[in-house]
Structure 1
Amino acid sequence: AVGAELAEHAEAVTAEAVSNAVRHSGASRLTVQIGVADMFTLDVIDNGRGIASGNTRRSGLANMTRRAEQLGGSCEISSPPGGGTRVHWTAPLLDH
């Protein structure tokens, strides 16, 4: 089950990732995928211009990473081959 703390963090991370894509990517497509199998997983993927490797320390992106780590999870932000940006955020399903 998704506990209250995880739900709060996941909602904030989703809002930040979608907002970043809309404001900065120039994308024509945005996909949000959520999974709750062994871990809570969130993928926000766009087909925009991508993100430079040094930009992942910006405050909103750093905050997404901090939220994941606070829950024992992780946040990976990358630009896949072919362009776009992918935010892959995970956290354990156990409520902390």
Structure 2
Amino acid sequence: MLFLLFMMAAMLILAIVLLCSQPDDATGAGGDGKAGTDKPDDGKAAPTTLEGALVAQLISGEITQAQYRIAVARLAKRDDERNPMTVPKDDRPESCA
């Protein structure tokens, strides 16, 4: 019984030490009270695709709807030239058609 109490106390102390050693979000990575050097997370991720960048510009008002449509049409044309899609042949037997 005494052994179980000792083990529970040791696990409690270990948990407290581990929780206290983790850095705070507000204090940065070191946990020394100094602010971190990372940019604050404002909840907005940077777009990772050209389409995402165009949508972000459209929403922020940097481009008009007409400019957005022209840019997307050019992007689709470029994509079609670089990666053309082909329609598969009709290889079914005549009995299935």
TM-score w.r.t. length of structure 2:
0.24
Higher helix residue share: 2
Larger radius of gyration: 2
TM-score w.r.t. length of structure 1:
0.25
